[in-house]
Amino acid sequence: MQLYLIEKKQQQILQGFAATFTDMPISDNTQYKNSLFCFCEQKEGEATQKLHIMEIGTPAPGASKFKVSTTIQIQQEGDFPVLMQDVPKYGVVFVITKFGYFYMYEVSTASLLQRQKFTDQLCIVATRNPKTDGMIVINKAGNIYAINVEENNLIPYINSAGHITDNKTLSFKLAQRFSLRGADEIFVQMFQQKMMSGDYAGAANVAKDAPGTLLRNQDTINKFKALPQAAGGPAPILVYFNTLLQSTKLNAQESIELARPVIQ
């Protein structure tokens, strides 16, 4: 496989197959999408196959070039990946092998989330489903498969999957990055911990990343308004609004509440 950088007219030959390019956040800086190249590799003379995910664009400010790899757990001798697709909506990639196995990997850690055999026939072509960010696959027998992530089930699944290393942290991070349901309890617990320790900016960041109006509501505003103001410091409610405004917009409720102290 040849990787070619047009701007610099540079090439790199890779002993790989089943590749894809993607843009998605891989850190807490959800405003920045990293440009990534994902590919499967088996070097000459080696028995193992690996999935590589590496950054080919400019890293986020203050960050270094991202790269992570993992060994592909091949289930049948002679099998190897033939198709790959990125799923930016959920921060994962799909991989399909010659012998009809489906693999789903989380991109920032290269953690294997799911592996399942779904056909005995060679899959010859696949394309993205623009409505779901899923994958439509056709095998040699002419069967058509639709592979999709169940949005409301992804985070609960990872949260309870014992085979995934540090699964609780991973489920929270994904819920945070992609505004996914299923980690509500974790968001609430972290918000309360930040508030109790006096880290009001941290609590505001948790509220910002929580899905929907789980924490960005009147109850949260009232909690910040009830906090005492430290001598010489800003009012906690203003810390809350200022933290939100650094990376997002206020909702209608927050806008009205911000106007009150500003006018005063």
Residue 77 confidence class, pLDDT cut points 50, 70, 90: very high
Whether 215 has a pLDDT exceeding 80, the answer reads yes
Class of domain 183-263: mainly alpha
pLDDT digit string, tens, across residues 152-161 = 999 999 989 9
In the numeric block, the tokens 């500003």 are attached to: 262
Q: Report which of 1, 23, 30 is spatially closest to residue 14, judged by C-alpha positions.
A: 1
pLDDT digit string, tens, across residues 133-142 = 999 999 999 9
What average pLDDT does this structure show over 43-69? 91
> What DSSP designation does 65 have?
P
What average pLDDT does this structure show over 85-90? 96
Residues 6+ apart with CB under 8 A from 25: 31, 32, 33, 34, 91, 177
Q: Are 78 and 101 in contact (CB under 8 A)?
A: no
Alpha helices in 197-233 (DSSP H): 200-209, 218-226
Whether 264 has a pLDDT exceeding 90, the answer reads no
Give the per-residue pLDDT at 218. 94
Give the per-residue pLDDT at 23. 95
pLDDT digit string, tens, across residues 188-213 = 988 999 999 999 999 998 898 888 88
Quick one: tokens of 242?
A: 């200022």
Give the per-residue pLDDT at 263. 85
Whether 185 has a pLDDT exceeding 80, the answer reads yes
Question: Can you tell me the distance from the alpha carbon of 78 to that of 27, in angstroms, rounded to the nearest whole number?
Answer: 36
Whether 247 has a pLDDT exceeding 90, the answer reads no
> What DSSP designation does 59 have?
P
- Topology of domain 2-165, CATH: Methylamine Dehydrogenase; Chain H (2.130.10)
How many other β-carbons are positioned within 10 Å of the β-carbon of residue 117?
12
Q: Are 117 and 75 in contact (CB under 8 A)?
A: yes
Do 183-263 and 2-165 fall under one CATH topology?
no
Domain residue spans in the chain? 2-165, 183-263
